[in-house]
Amino acid sequence: MSLLNVSDLRLSFGGLLAIDGLTFSVEEAEIVSVIGPNGAGKTSAFNCVTGFYRPTSGRITLRGRDLPGLRPSAIAGLGIARTFQNLRLFGELSVLDNVRAGTHLWLRQNVFDALLHTPRYRRSERECTEQAHHWLDFVGLRGDRYGAARNLPYGEQRRTEIARALARRPDLLLLDEPAAGLNHGEKAEMLDLIRRIQGLGVAIVLIEHDMGLVMEVSERVVVLNFGKEIADGRPEDVRRDPAVIEAYLGSDAHA
Amino acid sequence: MTSAVKVRKVGTDKPPTRASKFLQNRWAGLAGLLIALLAPFVNASPYALSVMTSAAVFVMLAAGLNIVVGYCGLLDLGYVAFFAVGAYTSGVLATRFDLPLPVTVPFVIVVTVIAGIVIGAPTLRLRSDYLAIVTLGFGEIIRITANNLDVTGGPSGIYGIPHLTESPVVFYYLTVVVVSLAVVGAARLGRSRLGRAWRFVREDEDAAEAMGVNTYRVKLAAYIAGAVWGGLAGVLFAAHLSAISPTSFTFLQSALVLMAVVLGGMGSIPGVVVGAVVISLLPEILRDLADYRFFLFGVLLIVVMLLRPQGLWPARSREVS
């Protein structure tokens, strides 16, 4: 059984068909990229998988379990974590607190532990701080961890968001344009980071416009255009696919 | 992994400054408590004690509303509803069933939790501005209900609620102890898993959901905690005045508590304590100005908000390790 199965997914907003029959699957610890021109429905597909949108029809299952209809937090509880296209950090909170958010589902403490500062409270707080440091180390954050997240440079904020998602210790990580706005050096580091995340046994679905990165890192590439899936295969095959070339360059272009 | 560990050494373990240490650690809280404990030695007239007791109760209200507004970012314009529910529950049980006030406390907690759920469950699905309007409505509904029911004494309210103690000084100290515990409790909740979840919701609800925070339940928890704090403050209020009536629970009260939270610094425990003390004591200090005191009170508030829009003692993003 695949880790994630999306079959014949459709999503419409009123008369607009944002996703029109998307089918793909992700195996354990696999990296799959979803590419396509702007407005092709990539992020909408992410939002369907993570429960932020309810698909009009089609099935989404994680290890055989149906996802549509569940709250996003319940889906996160099943082992899916994500990042957002436009960074969604908790700007006023410290960088460490941001990453602590990922540990939310792992912490065992209740209101009385917190009010009485029981040993269990102290232990779980220590644990979650250690976890936060661990994942910030893992993503290689250089900036100040104790200050507000909004004060970090852009590239560092991207890393923090990934650290937050990793602290959730997911089986499946959805990265929405993690390399957007990064410079050349930072992109190379992002590539390395994505590989190291895969090394942890985490499957990754990647939305990305940087074709160099996509071709380098993915095992499979799914191509969307106007909500329709036009290709699904190994990067080297997808790159040569006439439908993909047409979607990206237009039919009259002599690429 | 070894390379990652090396990275951590660079510029992360900055020691906190002395000032931030003072502001964050417990010395500021103990200093505040000391001031409250020593105040009767400066002036122990019945009037002064009554004003200080009211101020302490107001601090508790502000600490409770801070959970809802400051931590969780939910604008509640009807917070006084829970204050009223607590005061009336305790007052009714004490006068009609002759229960001693401390015995009413468990009932008050149960009733305020229920009130928090009843008011919160349908409204917390709404986003900010709608929530503000609906809470405003609930605040009025509770007051008008109390005004019209027989059991609550109608417009004249409930009187003859037994004092906890005959001595105003002892009652003042008792209030200070209870309020201090409530403030410490609110602060501790703020530093817990739940408290962080409240801030995640305040900062970005969608991102919080994506991290596995059930934002609806977390918001309801904030509402219930705020309700319990407000209800217990209501018990102190009833015990202090020994008479309660619907006129004590008007929208103006809700607005004043909210003002204390905003003036002090939303989400900051020392801030809301200072804010509550200022809001409750300033009109008394300005009493010599007679008719002009509320005018000056308003002007001072506007000046503070212009000069320090983040509040007198704002919450800090920086974390002290």
On the CB side of B83, how many CA atoms lie within 13 Å of its CA? 31
Residue B257 is predicted with a pLDDT of: 95
Determine contact, residues B37/B173, Cβ cutoff 8 Å: yes
Backbone dihedral angles phi then psi of residue B190, each to the nearest 5 degrees: -65, -25
For residue B158, list its beta bridge partners.
B244
- Per-residue model confidence (pLDDT) at position B19: 56
| CB proximity list for B284: less than 8 A, separation 6 or greater | B51
CA distance A112 to B272: 23
pLDDT band of B308, cuts 50, 70, 90:
confident
Residue of B nearest to A75 (CA): B212
Structure token digits, residue B102: 């401390």
Cβ distance B320 to A105 less than 8 Å, yes or no, reads: no
Instruction: Output the pLDDT for position B169.
Output: 94
Which residue of chain B is at minimal alpha-carbon distance from A102?
A: B211
Q: Which amino acid is at B148?
A: N
Residue B136 is predicted with a pLDDT of 92
Q: Is A86 on the interface with B (CB under 8 A)?
A: no
- Sheet with strand A220-225: strands edge to edge: A80-82, A172-176, A203-207, A31-35, A220-225, A228-233
Q: Do A52 and B206 touch (CB under 8 A)?
A: yes
According to the model, what pLDDT value does residue B4 have?
A: 38
Q: Collapse the DSSP code of B8 into the 3-class scheme (helix H, G, I; strand E, B; otherwise coil) and give the result.
A: helix
Given this model, what pLDDT does residue B2 score? 38
User: Residue A34 forms beta bridges with which residues?
Assistant: A207, A222
* Contacts with B244 (C-beta within 8 Å, 6 or more apart), sequence order: B87, B88, B91, B157, B158, B161, B237, B238
Find, in chain B, the residue whose alpha carbon is nearest to that of A147: B318
Q: What CA–CA distance (Å, rounded) separates B303 from B315?
A: 20
Token reading at B11: 């510029």
A144–B14: do the CB atoms touch at under 8 Å? yes
B221 contacts in chain A (CB < 8 Å): 111
Task: Specify the pLDDT at position B317.
Answer: 77
Q: Is the predicted pLDDT of residue B5 greater than 50, yes or no?
A: no
pLDDT over threshold 50, residue A196: yes
CA distance B164 to B170: 9
Q: How confident is the model at residue B8 (pLDDT cuts 50, 70, 90)?
A: very low
Q: How far apart are CA B180 and CA B178, in angstroms?
A: 5
C-beta of residue A171 within 8 angstroms of C-beta of residue A79: yes
pLDDT digits (tens, 9 = 90+) for B12-62: 334 455 555 555 557 888 888 999 999 999 988 999 999 999 999 999 999
Torsion-angle region of residue A170: left (phi > 0), alpha (psi -120 to 50) or beta? beta
Indicate the DSSP class of residue A105.
G
- CA–CA separation, B67 vs B199, rounded Å? 10
With contacts defined as CB-CB under 8 Å, which chain A residues touch B4?
Answer: 137-138, 140
pLDDT band per the 50, 70, 90 thresholds, residue B122: confident
Map out the domains of chain A with their CATH numbers: 1-79+170-255 (3.40.50.300), 89-167 (no CATH)
- Please state, rounded to an integer, the average pLDDT across all residues of chain B: 88
Give the best residue of A49, A92, A196 to mutate against chain B (max B CB count within 10 A).
Answer: A92
3-state secondary structure A140-197: CCCCCCCCEHHHCCHHHHHHHHHHHHHHCCCCEEEEECCCCCCCHHHHHHHHHHHHHH
pTM of the model: 0.90
Q: What is the full DSSP assignment across A209-243? A: S-HHHHHHH-SEEEEEETTEEEEEE-HHHHHH-HH
- Chain A residues with beta carbon closer than 8 angstroms to that of B14: 144, 146
Look at residue B119 and tell me whether its pLDDT is greater than 50.
yes
Task: Give long-range contacts, CB 8 A cutoff, 24+ apart: B121-128.
Answer: B121/B220, B124/B74, B124/B216, B124/B219, B124/B220, B124/B223, B125/B216, B128/B73, B128/B74, B128/B75
Indicate the SS3 state at residue A50. Answer: coil
Contacts of B205 (CB under 8 A, 6+ apart): B215
pLDDT digits (tens, 9 = 90+) for A21-60: 999 999 999 999 999 888 888 999 999 999 999 999 999 9
Confidence (pLDDT) at B295: 84
What is the distance of C-alpha A217 from the center of its chain? 15
Q: Residue B6: what pLDDT?
A: 36
Q: What is the DSSP letter of B70?
A: I
Measure Cα distances from A215 to A31, A94, A229 in Å.
11, 35, 18
Q: What is the rounded CA–CA span in Å between residue A100 and residue A115?
A: 19
| pLDDT of B250 above 80 | yes
CA distances (Å), B286 to each of A31, B52, B295, in order? 69, 15, 10
pLDDT value at B11 more than 60: no
CB contact under 8 A, B210 and A92: no
| Mean pLDDT of all residues in A168-179 | 95
Percent of chain B with pLDDT over 90: 69
- Tokens at residue B187, please? 């602060």
Asked if B197's CB is within 8 angstroms of A104's CB, the reply is yes
Confidence at residue B17, expressed as pLDDT on a 0 to 100 scale: 55
Assess A153–B contact: CB distance below 8 Å, yes or no. Answer: no
Tell me what the pLDDT averaged over chain A comes to.
92
- Considering only CB atoms, A93 lies closest to which of B193, B211, B317, namely B317
Tally A–B CB contacts below 8 A: 136
- Integer Cα distance of B110 and A128 in angstroms: 32
DSSP B99: -
Amino acid code (one letter) for B133: I
Q: B203 vs A142: CB contact, 8 Å cut-off? A: no
CB burial of B176-187 (b: ≥16 within 10 Å; e: otherwise) equals bebbbebbbbbb
A8: left (phi over 0), alpha (psi -120 to 50) or beta: left
Q: What secondary structure letter does DSSP report for A94?
A: B
Residue A3 parent element (H or E): none
| DSSP one-letter string for B162-227 | PPS-S-HHHHHHHHHHHHHHHHHHHHHHHTSHHHHHHHHHHH-HHHHHHTT--HHHHHHHHHHHHH
> Across-strand partners of A118?
none
The residues, ordered by sequence, that sit 6+ positions from B147 with a Cβ below 8 Å of its Cβ are B154, B155, B246
> Which residue of chain B is at minimal alpha-carbon distance from A163?
B211
Contact B157, B245 (CB under 8 A): yes
DSSP string for residues in B139-175: HHHHHHHHHH-TTTTGGG-EE-PPPS-S-HHHHHHHH
Separation in Å, CA of B244 to nearest CA in chain A: 31
A234 shares contact with chain B (CB less than 8 Å): no
- Find where tokens 């986003």 sit: B127
Q: For chain B, say whether A78 makes contact (Cβ under 8 Å).
A: no
3-state secondary structure of B9: coil
Q: What is the DSSP string of B303-318?
A: HHHHH-TT-SS---SP
- pLDDT, one tens digit per residue, over B143-161 is 999 999 999 999 999 999 9
Task: Name the residue among B12, B192, B211 with its Cβ closest to that of A168.
Answer: B211
Supply A91's token pair: 């700007």
